[in-house]
Homo-oligomer: A and B are copies of this chain.
Amino acid sequence: MNEADFIAALRNFPLHPGARGLNDDCAVIEVGGETLILTYDSMAEGTHWLPGQDMADVAWKLVASNLSDLASKGAEPVGVLLGHTLDGDEDRFLAGLQEVLNEYSVPLLGGDTICAKGPRTLGLTAIGRATHTPVPARSGAKVGDGVFVCGVIGDAMAGFHELTKANRARELGLEPEDADKASPYFAAKFLRPTPLIKEGQALARHVNAMMDVSDGLFLDASRMAKTSEVTFSLELDAVPHSSKFKDYASDGNQLDKSTKGWPCRLAACSWGDDYALLFTAPAKAQLPIECAKIGEVLAQTEHPLLVDGKAIASDELGYQHG
């Protein structure tokens, strides 16, 4: 059973109304006169972080990925609960955790600490307060909306490739030479992503649908389109990249088999970890911050996602669990 089947099975369970049919990044519950946003994300050793990676970066990413989910609902963080598995040496993890909580002024609420055998799994629950209701959902995209991205796509993929290129060189029987020197800019984008909290709050009142891009722009866009029962038509050239990534892509960097040899900019759209915000808004909306319009919302067709007018095959969409 893969992730999609598992979640489909859970949809037959008794769901809280705030679960949004398990079609969203977060749960939304009304308490008293307020609206709380709840999210839960895990990271597993060997799957979500690289062997030997600095645990300070792992702690950062664990918190940042959850805060990014809150950002995509326009929420203000209230606190986090940490599910930690002890490693014996927690100093670097604690250092990174403190840095990220300080950076975003998020207090610790509690959690659980266990011992376990083998590769570890860390979990985090983040709680936020809605700054605008109705809270943006994945399901709200309307025919005629523009499709927008806040943030950039591709830096995280380049970071992963930079961090692993020495290993790839060795696999190809080459000497790593200066391949060991990963670009610090890209490495940081992969290791220490930035949750767009302020941007999410500024956008929440203007959008019809919003989510964060954690599993790849194409996959996440197709999920939003399906849940909204529409089709997204995107233009590859309109996808926003950092100037550093544009240089990187035009240098013809050789990417590994995980990108199936696709051109770098296309591959970046099927790669996760960017933590940009993907949203739709009325085409003439006056957005409070600069965002890239990457396409339009069309009436539903058999394909949830068109890129430059062509349907994207499901195995080209992005990272799918299991």
> Hey, which bits of chain A sit against chain B, CB under 8 A?
1-3, 5-7, 9-10, 13-16, 18-20, 22, 24, 26-27, 29, 31-34, 36, 38-48, 78-79, 81-86, 88-91, 94, 97-98, 101-102, 105-121, 123, 125, 127, 129, 321-322
Contact = CB atoms under 8 A, between A and B. Distances in A.
A101 B14 contact: yes
A1 B47 contact: no
B14 A107 contact: yes
A97 B6 contact: no
Contacts of A120: 121
Contact of A38 (B1, B89, B109): B109
A149 B182 CA distance: 59
Contacts of A16: 78-79, 107-109
Nearest to A12: B98
A19 B108 CA distance: 7
Per assembly, the copies of the chain total 2
B114 A121 contact: yes
Contact of A112 (B42, B97, B106, B322): B42
Contacts of A43: 114
Given A46-B116, A101-B14, A112-B40, A121 B78 contact: no
Nearest to A121: B121
Contacts of A81: 27, 38-40, 125
Contacts of A118: 46, 117-119
A26 to B, nearest CB: 7
Contacts of A32: 31-34
Contacts of A117: 44-47, 118-119
A164 B22 CA distance: 38
A48 B114 contact: yes
A116 B121 contact: yes
A38 B110 contact: yes
A9 B4 CA distance: 38
Top 8 A-B residue pairs of the complex, sorted by shortest distance between their CB atoms: A32-B32, A44-B116, A118-B118, A32-B34, A121-B121, A16-B107, A32-B33, A123-B123
B86 A121 contact: no
Contact of A119 (B26, B88, B116): B116
Nearest to A122: B121
A111 B79 contact: no
Contacts of A84: 6
